[in-house]
Structure 1
């Protein structure tokens, strides 16, 4: 790596290589923690060193949960305004390798399944879904009804599976209509197939609802949840 590619979120160029050497030989919790905030700043900014470090992280990924998680965090933010498009493009082969590593790992039904599933979505450039899925324990998504424009809250989790709008002090809810396996297409079908394959029942059920239909509590129009969420949140690739 040249010095520009090694610049981290603190504008240092020497610290990341040292940290990568440390985590390669031992599961150093403090080193992983420092790597995290040097490569990814808060929620959206990836440093040049983050993309430059991907080959090293992917090489460690088959045996390191820390590497899988950090590489996933970097890729989940790959559509942001990081100014490293050329550097990321040079890592296309590494991203493909990471996809294969993640797919094999997911088949083992690991403890870090959700983290790795999100990373796989990011590696497939499904960035909006990679950043949206929280495991369907209490996921909440906000969309606008395409017919009347009302802001609709979509709830999928332990509290129920419904669309909701607030009218004054009243909350009006309608049950969601999940898609069947045969009705799913495209990304939704792919996501559902993988989670079913891996015995992830909660995820599979949540995806069926997320890619199903919602009724607007205001105007009673029925619309595709994933279509409206994607239209509003999928990043425009440069």
Structure 2
């Protein structure tokens, strides 16, 4: 289905009927400030707080056109929106939009290669897009904690609420929010040895390291390492628990 073939009047987004979406896309290319406002409106309608809608999938052909330079707009913006949409797609939708996904993937890889070394968030978001277009489950949606330096999890043994934290606040698992609660119980984290990583963990760490994204590379060792629950002293794989809760 091409963008022009979509019957937008029959589709919905976060605020109801999606008939306004073609007009929003038509406003792109009129200057950086105006484009920023248009993208903000598109994100609010098509990807509201991370949710996607039928209109979101219908926008993929237009987003692919922008990414490939066939329509006005910033390719990286199109890739980021399309990546979030595709990450939520089921097998049927992936097949239906296979042409667009195949066109978006090389653009996402090119954008990823251009991210500045001090932009960990930008690198992770675009990395998730690459994984989404490749069809990699879980980590196309669950990597933000790597640059946010924290995952909120439940202990798989005793169900205690934990904050697995690594970075500027230190490296530990706390029973409760270490920022808002006074002196919560803490226990050790055990980062993975990069040399021992395998599969997707090894690939992600290698991509981050070779791109000069040292903060991301270090965060990945904690994501694919182990944490100790300060309540029951159970030690568990962090990535496995992330996948169970959010994947």
Category of TM-score, reference length = shorter chain: 0.7 to 0.9
Confirm or deny: 8 A CA contact 1:176 1:214 kept in the other structure.
yes
Deviations 1:3-41 (A, max 9, x none): 168624144343222222332565422222222222223
Q: Give the one of 154, 162, 175 matched to 1:165.
A: 175
Confirm or deny: 8 A CA contact 1:142 1:151 kept in the other structure.
yes
Q: Which residue of 1 aligns with 2:83?
A: 72
Q: Give the one of 226, 235, 245 matched to 1:222.
A: 235
C-alpha separation between the residues in 2 aligned to 1:6 and 1:191?
Answer: 40
Q: Which residue of 2 aligns with 1:117?
A: 127
Q: Give the one of 196, 201, 207 matched to 1:194.
A: 207
Q: 1:61 to 1:175 in 2, by over 3 A?
A: farther
C-alpha separation between the residues in 2 aligned to 1:149 and 1:208?
Answer: 24
SS at match of 1:157: coil
C-alpha separation between the residues in 2 aligned to 1:140 and 1:30?
Answer: 30
C-alpha separation between the residues in 2 aligned to 1:96 and 1:22?
Answer: 26
Q: Which residue of 2 aligns with 1:12?
A: 17
Distance apart, 1:127 and its partner CA: 5.4
Segment drifting more, 127-136 vs 148-157: 127-136
C-alpha separation between the residues in 2 aligned to 1:8 and 1:26?
Answer: 28
Distance apart, 1:88 and its partner CA: 4.4
C-alpha separation between the residues in 2 aligned to 1:52 and 1:127?
Answer: 22
Confirm or deny: 8 A CA contact 1:6 1:16 kept in the other structure.
no
State the TM-score, normalizing by the size of structure 2.
0.77
Q: Give the one of 78, 84, 107 matched to 1:101.
A: 107
Q: Which residue of 1 aligns with 2:187?
A: 174
Distance apart, 1:155 and its partner CA: 1.0
Q: Which residue of 1 aligns with 2:71?
A: none
Q: Which residue of 2 aligns with 1:52?
A: 58
C-alpha separation between the residues in 2 aligned to 1:54 and 1:95?
Answer: 8
C-alpha separation between the residues in 2 aligned to 1:117 and 1:106?
Answer: 7
Number of positions where the alignment pairs a residue of Structure 1 with one of Structure 2:
227
Q: Is structure 2 residue 38 aligned with structure 1 residue 31?
A: yes
Q: Which runs of 5+ in 1 are unaligned?
A: 80-84
Q: Which residue of 1 aligns with 2:27?
A: 22
Confirm or deny: 8 A CA contact 1:215 1:222 kept in the other structure.
yes
Distance apart, 1:193 and its partner CA: 1.6
Segment drifting more, 119-128 vs 67-76: 119-128
Confirm or deny: 8 A CA contact 1:109 1:199 kept in the other structure.
no
Q: Which residue of 2 aligns with 1:139?
A: 149
Confirm or deny: 8 A CA contact 1:137 1:156 kept in the other structure.
no
Q: 1:6 to 1:158 in 2, by over 3 A?
A: farther
SS at match of 1:98: helix
C-alpha separation between the residues in 2 aligned to 1:43 and 1:5?
Answer: 23
Distance apart, 1:57 and its partner CA: 1.1
Q: Which residue of 1 aligns with 2:6?
A: 2
Confirm or deny: 8 A CA contact 2:189 2:225 kept in the other structure.
yes
